[in-house]
Each structure stands twice: as C-alpha cells, then as structure tokens.
Amino acid sequence: MFLGAAIISHFTNDELITKKGPVFQTAIIAGIQGVKKTSELIPMCHPLLINGVDIDIKIIDSEHIEVLCEVTIEGKTGVEMEALTGANIACLTIYDMCKSISQEMVIKEVKLLEKTGGKSDIKNV
C-alpha cells in the first residue's frame, strides 16, 4: 500500500497515533473482524470456523507499507477469500485513519500469495 512520505514521516517506532487511535493496531483488529465477517460480505461464501488469523503490517520503505493476512482452518476448504477480505479491510482502515494527513494513499497489488486446502493448492510468491 502506498502511504506516501507525508504519512510515513509521522510514524514513531512503527506506529502512528492519530485522533482515532493507533493506526496499525486498529487495522489489525479491523482485519480480523473482516475475516470473521467474510460470509456476510461476499455472496456465496459460507461461514467457516476459523482457527487463527495473523495480520502483519510493516513499513517497507519511505512511502510504502505491506499488509499480510494469514488465515488457518482445520477443515478441508480453503480460506483465501477470508484472507483477502482481512487484508483489504486492514488497508481500508489504515486509509480511513490516515486520510486527515493525506488522501494520496493507494491500495494496490492485493493478491493471494499462497493457499492450501480446498480443490487446489496455490503458491504465487
């Protein structure tokens, strides 16, 4: 995600506190909620018993961050839609919390990196 130097320059110790609160911490919570609500947001996705969600957000250079969402389940189905939803909701939350600093942010290159389970395994790393 492109945040731009104007926003990243406000970060201290890999976190930015805005009037709405800590940006990355809030985005992680929102991403987890997004994972859990995927079946309510995307037609034909069925509710799943999620075993784990790990959302990692890090600054990768002076203008960009990376948001990774990993979802685990014990069942035979894949959870790629849940992971993609979680990552997108985390990015949208970051956008919402930082828009008072700059509205030049761009959410881009949302993609599935790896999937196991379901009908096929995928590795796009």
For residue 86, CA distances in Å to 1, 8, 15, 35, 93 come to 14, 22, 19, 5, 11
Catalytic residue status for 121 = no
The better pLDDT of the pair 125, 46 is held by 46
Question: How far, in Å, CA of 16 to CA of 4, rounded?
Answer: 14
Are the beta carbons of 26 and 92 closer than 8 angstroms?
Answer: no
Per-domain residue ranges of the chain: 5-123
What pLDDT, in 10s, does the model give residues 78-99? 899 999 999 999 999 999 999 9
Are the beta carbons of 35 and 47 closer than 8 angstroms?
Answer: no
Through-space distance between the first and last CA atoms of the chain, rounded to whole angstroms: 17
Question: How far, in Å, CA of 98 to CA of 104, rounded?
Answer: 10
CATH number for domain 5-123, candidates 3.30.70.640, 3.40.50.300, 2.40.50.140, 2.40.70.10 = 3.30.70.640
What pLDDT, in 10s, does the model give residues 37-66? 999 999 999 999 999 999 999 999 999 999
Give pLDDT, residue 120.
73
pTM beyond 0.85: the answer is yes
- 14, 54, 56, 96: which one is catalytic? 96
